[in-house]
Amino acid sequence: MAVCSLDLPTFVADLKTIINEPEKICLFDEIRPLVPLNQQIAYDSLCPIIPSATKKLIHLENPENGSLGFSLRGGAEHGTGVYVTSISPTSDAYRKDLRVGDEVVSVNGFYIIQAIHEEIIELINDFQEIELQIRRIGMIPFRIKASDVVRWEYVPKENI
């Protein structure tokens, strides 16, 4: 009996073009049983992380130089949550496990789902001690023009 060959990198890359929103990522797990048993470990290594339902608290102190070492994107005016888009590997936030693709759910106990980007930045800058409640998503929103539909890009696993 011949073993079916599957070009996994191409297959997963094609899946990523279809499974292109955080709400859809769980489909990778649904597809896994259809992958030949001898290729499932390789499949797992190529698939993105599954977003965590668990929220995590990250405690930071606002440094005197004003930079926390990470950037955020999103807000109510963009129709998305707020996501970490870059982080300095030498920052306190990185050492405390904040990663690109994390969704910021609340800042110092204030849920930010209806806040615009500017309000969120002000809220962060107003406190010396900051408590971020985050959820690991592994994707970040983007669009070129304000009139474009929001699209999502995967964060490489090594950056998560």
- Rg for the chain (alpha carbons), in Å? 18
Structure tokens at 31: 């597809």
Residue 40: the pLDDT is 94
From first to last of the 160 residues of the chain, give the pLDDT tens digit.
444 456 899 999 999 999 999 999 999 999 999 999 999 999 999 999 888 888 999 999 988 777 899 999 999 988 899 999 999 999 999 999 999 999 999 999 999 999 999 999 999 988 999 999 999 999 999 887 778 888 999 998 887 7
| Cα distances (angstroms) measured from residue 68 to each of 88, 91, 95, 98, 104 | 9, 7, 12, 11, 14
Q: How far apart are CA 26 and CA 59, in angstroms?
A: 29
Domains of the chain, CATH where assigned: 8-46 (1.20.1160.20), 55-159 (2.30.42.10)
Query: What is the rounded CA–CA span in Å between residue 103 and residue 138?
Result: 9
For 75, phi and psi rounded to 5 degrees? 135, 170
